[in-house]
Amino acid sequence: MNPNGSPQPWFSTPQWVLNMDTEYIVEMKGISKRFGGVHALRSVDLELRRGEIMGIVGDNGAGKSTLMKILSGAYLADEGEIYIDGRRAHIQNPQDAFNLGIGMIYQDLALFNNLDVARNIFVGRECSRGPFRLLLDKKSMYQKAQDLIHELRVDISSPRLNVALMSGGQRQMVACARAIAFQSKILIMDEPTAALGVTEANKLLSLIRNLRDMGLSILLITQRIPDILAIADRVFVLKGGQRQDVLEVSKVTLDDVVTMIVRGRDRNGMQTPAMVYRSFG
C-alpha cells in the first residue's frame, strides 16, 4: 500500500530486496579506465545515497559519461570495484546492470519513432498471453502503460500516441517511464534537458523529483548547473578524469560549482589558485 492507503501500482513493487544496513546504494571505488594512451578515469570513488539525486558535472572530457557507462555495463573498468546495496557487483554488460536494478537513459534516448508510447515502454519485454505465452497481450501493455503515465503525472495524453509526433520533453518522459516499468532502483540520466526549452525542461525536472519521491536514486549528468541546483541533493565534480569534490547543494552557489569545475583541486586537496593574466602590451 502507498502511504495514502491506495494500492501500489504494478510497476512500483520491487523484485529486488534492499539492504538497509548500508547508507549508500552505489559505491564505486578506485575506478580507472584507459582508452589507448588516454587515461579517461583515475582511481575515481563515487558514493550515491538512497533516494537522492546526485548531479555529475565537469568540463567536456572530464570522464562523466565514461564513469556512468561503467556503472551501466556499457564499458568495463580497468581497475576498481562496484558495490550495490553494500554487496560487491560484477557488472560485465548492460544485462548485469539491469539485473541489479540499474537503468540508463542515454542522450539519444534509443526510442523507436515508428512505435507508440506503450510499445516503446515494453519493447523487448512485451506482455504475452496464451497457453505457451506466445501471443502478444496488447490490452495488458496499453493498460499498464496508461497506469504508468498516470502515476508519473507526465504530459502524455495516450499510450497510443506515436513517438515520432512527440516533443523532446515527452520523449524524455517515455524513456523515464520505460526505465521505471522494469524496476530500476538506480537511474542514470545523460544530459536529459540539453535539447529542451525552458518549459519542457521544468516539466522534466519535476518528473525527476517525482521519481526520487518514489524511492529511486538518480545520477544526473548535465552541463546545466542551474538544473542541478534546482533539484539535486549533492554535486559530484570531475576534472581530467579525477574526482575533485562532492558538494552539498544546500551549501553552495552556482559560482562555487563552476569554480570547482574550472579550477579543481591540486594533489594536496587544495583548490588550485586562479590564473593571473598579465598584459605585455
78 with 45, same domain? yes
Q: Is residue 276 part of a domain?
A: no
pLDDT per residue over 23-44, tens digit each? 899 999 999 999 999 999 999 9
Q: Is residue 221 part of a domain?
A: yes
93 with 117, same domain? no
Q: Is residue 12 part of a domain?
A: no
Amino acid residing at 139 = K
- 79 - beta bridge partners? 32
Q: How many domains does the chain have?
A: 2
Q: Is residue 13 part of a domain?
A: no
224 with 260, same domain? yes
190 with 67, same domain? yes
Is residue 195 classed as helix, strand or coil in its secondary structure?
coil
97 with 222, same domain? yes
Asked if 77 contacts 31 with a C-beta cutoff of 8 angstroms, the reply is: yes
Q: Is residue 3 part of a domain?
A: no
What stretches in the chain show pLDDT beneath 70? 1-21, 109, 266-281
Question: What's the confidence (pLDDT) of residue 21?
Answer: 64
Asked if 48 contacts 54 with a C-beta cutoff of 8 angstroms, the reply is: yes
Q: Which element (helix H / strand E) includes 147? A: helix 138-152
First to last CA, the chain: 73
Q: Is residue 146 part of a domain?
A: yes
97 with 23, same domain? yes
Q: Is residue 148 part of a domain?
A: yes
* C-alpha 47, offset from chain centre: 14
pTM higher than 0.85: no
Spatial strand order in the sheet of 102-105: 102-105, 186-190, 217-221, 53-57, 234-239, 242-248
Question: What's the confidence (pLDDT) of residue 134?
Answer: 80
pLDDT per residue over 56-86, tens digit each? 999 988 999 999 999 999 999 999 999 999 9
Q: What sign has the CA pseudo-torsion 64, 70, 71, 77?
A: negative
Amino acid residing at 136 = L
46 with 85, same domain? yes
As a whole number of angstroms, the distance between CA 208 and CA 227 comes to: 11
63 with 134, same domain? no
Q: What domain range includes position 143?
A: 109-184
* C-alpha 113, offset from chain centre: 22
Instruction: Return the CATH number at 82.
Output: 3.40.50.300
- Residue 162 has φ and ψ, to the nearest 5°, of -70, 135
Q: Is residue 77 part of a domain?
A: yes
83 with 126, same domain? no
132 with 249, same domain? no
91 with 229, same domain? yes
Question: What's the confidence (pLDDT) of residue 116?
Answer: 92
130 with 32, same domain? no
